[in-house]
A and B are shown apart, each in its own frame.
Chain A
């Protein structure tokens, strides 16, 4: 099956710093990537939809200046958490949808962000 990777898998940073998370589709081209956030023992909440070469579409309540998304190529999308604060600590998961028209999304392993 299709593989999606995320890097880093775990990051700890100080309050006020920015953190970049990468999401890569390893063996397929992803026209669309999605970024989710998951709090402990909770469900995934869609943050934004990222289309290659265009601006990301953010869900209601998600600050686009806080969570910068770039989808520069068909295999890479990045999420940058700017000026991170402890309340941004969470599990961030990306998924990618291929170009074949399939409905299936392939999920990355997630990135655990802890802001001190």
Chain B
């Protein structure tokens, strides 16, 4: 069943701006992962944050996790046109069965 809920559903920003999207979930998790999907393509794994971690960085990506609020955020800094894609959070509730959020569609305008 789908656990993660994301907002906003869609985001349009100017190149160079930051993009922030949020994910909320309902049950306890082992880890939370963020993926990117370009239109009509498969998923690209971006970052995994474990339940005992609060923040993680990877290049221009910054992910936070607040297990008390059951929420996570993904920040993309200095966005580029190539960042245009759909972004999904996925929760892993200890059994490796990922439950995906509805996704946030990000459009970066040149």
Query: Which residues in A have some Cβ–Cβ distance to B below 8 Å?
Result: 6, 32, 34, 36, 41-46, 49, 59-60, 91, 93, 95, 97, 103-110, 112
Contact = CB atoms under 8 A, between A and B. Distances in A.
Given A32-B96, A46-B97, A97-B96, A106 B102 contact: no
B30 A93 contact: no
A27 B40 CA distance: 24
Chain B interface residue number, banded = 20 to 34
A60 B97 CA distance: 13
A110 B35 CA distance: 14
B13 interface: no
Contacts of A36: 100
Interface string B71-110: 0000000000000000010001000111111110100000
Contacts, number: 57
Nearest to A2: B45
Given A105-B98, A109-B41, 11 more contacts: A43-B88, A44-B43, A44-B100, A46-B98, A93-B43, A97-B96, A103-B30, A104-B33, A106-B45, A107-B44, A110-B41
Contacts of B42: 6, 93, 107-110
Contacts of B28: none
Nearest to A112: B40
Contacts of B61: none
A46 B95 CA distance: 13
